[in-house]
Chains A and B, each alone.
Chain A
């Protein structure tokens, strides 16, 4: 409306300098007692036009962008309770459990409620460098709505990299697209993904090799061992340590057997009576041990050679936990009942790491219950390894249904605080998993 623009221009310049435009307001009453002051006249005209423009506003026309809708969803949405918990996770409460929520939801063929997708996509984008895993899980649990949103916001385009794509994404795509293609292939056909990696290995740089190993971690099996074992001789430390960690998580691998052989020399059962554990840590870090990903750390005092606590911890953590149950003929809880001696903190940390990476729920539960009921410095105390830190990891991985809260929560000091934190995490996860199994059908 040019009359309005004329008024705005006059008021910008000021009526001292600009003439007051003549405003033909259709049907406007004559301004009775029209003020002589040109400024007042501008304001009065402007008031009339403001009301006229607001009241007479015409709608715009929808652009062509308004045409495309999201494809129908194939997966049902999670229960309402699960959605509320996801909102809490996205709000920062137990944020470290977000990947587990997404994994469980995707594993049960459920999807994220649409209303929470913007917050989830935002977090997954920020996690781009640190954890492509969160992006993969977001794509897996986000449904078609997440793909639709990714098409509208370039910052979220990582979702599209995980959609089934043709081989161009692999041959011509950038790093994120190649990672997405590989992850999707691995989920669909693990063997084909392995062959693709093997064929591409020699041409890939160290960063991409680590990415390859990240893709292998999903649906890991003994069939992957030759590839991983070869990677132990890689020139780059990052590649070697990643490969060693994956092999240690794979009971039955050559690396696991080598570690078990070493471990049997370090820890055995004295039948007694009374029965007790006897510990003799390795005295040196051999070349073979280094190849298997163990890095010697200098001892606390000069002249003592390597830190034998940490060497023992590294060996136990890479040894299949079933080695001990088979060899002693005892259940994990029974082994943990034996008098532990002064090596207890190292054994606790080593067994915990092994049980977590090998996903052995019976061992994880026994270790967690031990910490919660007898959360004593003897097991969790200071010995160069962090008992509270280990307990935190256990609480994030053990099946919460196997845990019986004990009196450890009453313990004072940092150990008691760690136990209370662990119980809090376990309770949160217990409810989280139940809600994700629930089906309230309400949508």
Chain B
């Protein structure tokens, strides 16, 4: 992927000031139901006044533009807007390669430029092109992860003690290299590590855990051939290869169940808001995680509300512990009471079993029947007296305490290595209260 341009460079391409203005107002994710990027190529579909969306593509190596809109300006506002979106980091790399129309255009350009074998119409080259680009990406990721491995070993060789004095740059630099290597999920994880040295006692152990798991990922990627296919899918997704929803839907078996919505947790990361919604299948007993994203400042998908139950077909992303899922079809939504609560030992056993299949798994849905308390840090304990701490960053837990009054309550939470992150509790009336 070409290095990102800055906005000034994009706006300088505009034929006039009104095109600049129009492009700025179109450069937001809601205007673009679909957008993706590959090496040197951006593509997207922009909602316009016409019934069909405009198809826009930009070849960054030219640059060259293509758009199905009728504008005679060149580049048109759609192409400029797509570039602006990309400079803002909101055009994600797409592992599956460009859609047919964009690939065809690019192939045609390459043919005309004499960069590829002559005499072949563009469309026929699609699969080959896609395979070539996918191969290029695999190679980049492999060399990027090898670099990461060397970096991790360097950290341990020099000693982690120095990282308490290191600034954010220390992790941002290696994260940026992972972005260049097209391993965005690894980059995200590395950026998050800058806060660890200042996270209080035990930071050294937590940093070592994270470094160790990252090296484990790099090693696993290298040993692809020895891995069972589901684990290989897990490794790929933790590196940052995205799977297109269409491919998930085409490849997976729909799981029909009454899915209870346990709760959700929103995070803001780098101009994108993410929402994690945890579900629990009443019949299958399966946990599921539905992710949704929105640009900073926009509203997230609100259709799955804690305390409701939806009869739906879910299709799971492939992996060793399939958690992430797409709601393929929704049939009926009703209000539901609290889900059945687990014990603390039951939760820990289930998490351990999942961890055995996916060692990187660090958040797992929990529904517990517990009494919250402070001793003095917030904890919850079940009827057997087994206790778990709350996550130190999950707040003081007063709402949960107030709801319980010292009596057991049903709590849905995310279990993480640092403690429970409460999401929802059910009050005496059996109603869900987001925490």
Contacts and interface: CB of A to CB of B under 8 A. Distances in A.
Contact of A4 (B159, B205, B355): B205
B355 A55 contact: yes
A206 B175 CA distance: 65
Contacts of A56: 352
A60 B212 contact: no
Contact of B399 (A8, A118, A148, A442): A118
Interface string A1-34: 0001001100111111110000000000000000
Contact of B406 (A54, A58, A69): A69
Nearest to A7: B208
Contact of B153 (A43, A115, A442): A43
Contacts of B401: 118, 149, 152
B344 A12 contact: no
29 contacts: A8-B204, A11-B156, A14-B157, A14-B159, A14-B161, A16-B158, A16-B159, A39-B152, A39-B153, A39-B156, A44-B216, A46-B212, A47-B216, A50-B213, A50-B359, A58-B348, A65-B374, A66-B379, A114-B403, A115-B403, A118-B401, A118-B402, A145-B402, A145-B405, A148-B405, A149-B398, A152-B401, A153-B398, A442-B429
B9 to A, nearest CB: 41
Q: Which of A43, A63, A115 has the most CB of B within 10 A?
A: A43
Given A8-B205, A43-B211, A66 B156 contact: no
Given A8-B208, A59-B348, A66-B371, A47 B359 contact: yes
Contacts of B204: 8, 11-12
B208 A114 contact: no
Interface residues of A, number: 51
Contacts of B334: none
A115 B215 contact: no
Given A60-B379, A62-B386, A44 B427 contact: no
Given A12-B161, A13-B161, A50-B212, A59 B153 contact: no
B345 interface: yes
B386 A59 contact: yes
Contacts of A116: 402
Interface in B305-364: 344-345, 348, 351-352, 355-356, 359, 362
A47 B359 CA distance: 9
A95 interface: no
A172 B215 CA distance: 65
Nearest to B356: A55
A70 B406 contact: yes
A63 B388 CA distance: 11
A59 B161 CA distance: 30
B385 A62 contact: yes
Interface string B153-190: 11111111100000000000000000000000000000
Contacts of B362: 54
